[in-house]
């Protein structure tokens, strides 16, 4: 659909930068030939204006315009807090 932004769910793995969080996105899929379940992960930098999220929080991030060299995602909402 036009205007629809990509969204991903992930876990915050670093909150050391100001207004930036590193979010780990895991993707599970079945190998086309060998039918083995494979887990692939990606670490994306996401913008967090209020510095609200902490390490271990599950967050929903959405794609946005490039905010810096590596940062083109922003945290839309915190789904659950770290225990």
Check whether 56 has a pLDDT greater than 70. yes
Instruction: Report the pLDDT value the prediction gives residue 83, as an integer from 0 to 100.
Output: 79
Dihedral of CA atoms 80, 18, 24, 68 in degrees, nearest 10, equals 130
CA dist., res. 29 & res. 18, Å (int): 34
The bridge status of strand 20-30 relative to strand 71-80 is unpaired
The bridge status of strand 7-14 relative to strand 20-30 is antiparallel
Band of the pLDDT at 26, cuts 50, 70, 90? very high
**Are 54 and 12 in contact, with CB atoms under 8 Å apart?**
yes
pTM value surpassing 0.85: yes
Report, as an integer, the average pLDDT of 52-77: 97
Q: What is the percent of the chain with per-residue pLDDT over 70, rounded to a whole number?
A: 99
Q: Which class would CATH give 7-80?
A: mainly beta
Q: What is the percent of the chain with per-residue pLDDT over 90, rounded to a whole number?
A: 93
């Amino acid at each position: 659909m036009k205007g629809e932004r990509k969204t991903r769910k992930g876990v915050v793995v670093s909150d050391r930068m100001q207004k930036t969080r590193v979010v780990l996105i895991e993707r599970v899929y079945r190998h086309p030939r060998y039918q083995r379940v494979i887990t692939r992960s990606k670490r994306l930098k996401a913008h967090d204006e209020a510095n609200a999220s902490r390490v271990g929080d599950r967050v929903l991030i959405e794609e946005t315009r490039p905010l810096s060299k590596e940062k083109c995602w922003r945290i839309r909402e915190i789904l659950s807090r770290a225990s």
